[in-house]
Amino acid sequence: MKTLISTLLIATCLAGCNKEPNSSDASSKMAVPVHDVAWYLEHEAEHEATKRRCKANPGALRETAECINADQAQKQIFVWGREEALKRLREGL
């Protein structure tokens, strides 16, 4: 009986030692390239697509660099407009 319990305990412990990453690991999140704010100001269609993706799943994506940069670009567009925001970014204002 002790041998059976010991065997089951060891098997349970080893089951958690999976070497293959699962789909929720950070490496799978790296598949989407991270762009800076200037890139989103220059690429309107991609900016809109990223905003939609971030808005559709804010619980999982809100704190990603991709969504933060797209949101920051949107804030600058709201205040100055796309062209002026891009100009200010390039000039370092």
Quick one: pLDDT band at residue 12, thresholds 50, 70, 90? low
The burial of 67, by beta-carbon neighbours within 10 Å (0-12 exposed, 13-18 middle, 19 or more buried), is given as buried
What pLDDT was estimated at residue 86? Answer: 87
Which of 7-11, 16-20, 57-61, 75-79 comes out lowest in average pLDDT?
16-20
Longest dimension (CA), the chain: 76
Tell me the pLDDT tens digit for each residue of 19-76. 544 444 444 455 668 999 999 999 999 999 999 999 999 999 999 999 999 999 999 9
Query: What tokens does 17 get?
Result: 């030692």
**In the structure, what pLDDT confidence band is assigned to residue 5 with cuts at 50, 70 and 90?**
low
Q: Kindly state the tokens that stand for 64.
A: 């990603």
Distance CA 29, CA 24 (A): 8
Q: pTM to 2 decimals?
A: 0.63
